[in-house]
Amino acid sequence: MEIKEIQQGDKLWTKVIEYARNCSWRAGAFLARNMEKNLFPNWERVLVALDGTDIAGYCTVQEKDCIPDAEYSPYICFVFVGERYREKRLSQELIMHALEYFKHLGYSKAYLVSGEIGLYEKYGFTKITDKKDIWGNDEQILAIDI
């Protein structure tokens, strides 16, 4: 499995847009729209896990996530692993790659927004607060030291 950091102009960009748009997770379509609008400026990237030429999953590294009044940054967002690649710790590989990317940029902490309880704690994240997202849903913000 290979994890690549991509941005607009990369040869995989369009392929990841289509994969995200058609994946089983409803947030994938939202990611696809953000990619089409090139809402990944400066250092922000989409990380894509590849099994040969097949996309196995993705996540993003971004300055902000869906919590409008959060004072934290940077975030790991849109963590998704395709059904046939689940139960193989691929989400952990994506997250670890994202943390290394943030560390390279000089960050010492990273954040993640999730409604899932207990999912990201197994990777070392700790819940720091609850907030409402831009759609009015209750979400938790988790943090990890890099």
21-44 b/e (C-beta count within 10 Å ≥ 16 → b): eebeeeebeebbebbeeeebeeeb
Q: In what order do the strands lie in the sheet with 75-81?
A: 2-6, 45-51, 54-62, 75-81, 109-114, 138-145, 126-132
Predicted local distance difference test score (pLDDT) of residue 70: 86
Measured from the Cβ of residue 75, the count of other Cβ atoms closer than 10 Å reads 24
Predicted local distance difference test score (pLDDT) of residue 106: 97
**Are β-strands 109-114 and 75-81 bridged in parallel, bridged antiparallel, or unpaired?**
parallel
pLDDT digits (tens, 9 = 90+) for 1-19: 999 999 999 999 999 999 9
We report the CATH number of the domain holding residue 138 as: 3.40.630.30
pLDDT digits (tens, 9 = 90+) for 82-125: 999 999 999 999 999 999 999 999 999 999 999 888 899 999 99
Output the 3-class SS for 123-134: HCCEEEEEEECC
- Tokens linked to 83: 């059904």
The C-alpha atoms of residue 69 and residue 65 are separated, in whole angstroms, by 10
Q: Which domain holds residue 61?
A: 2-145
pLDDT digits (tens, 9 = 90+) for 118-131: 899 999 999 999 99
Which positions ≥6 away from 29 have C-beta within 8 Å? Answer: 20, 21
Domain count, the chain: 1
Q: At 49, is the secondary structure helix, strand, or coil?
A: strand
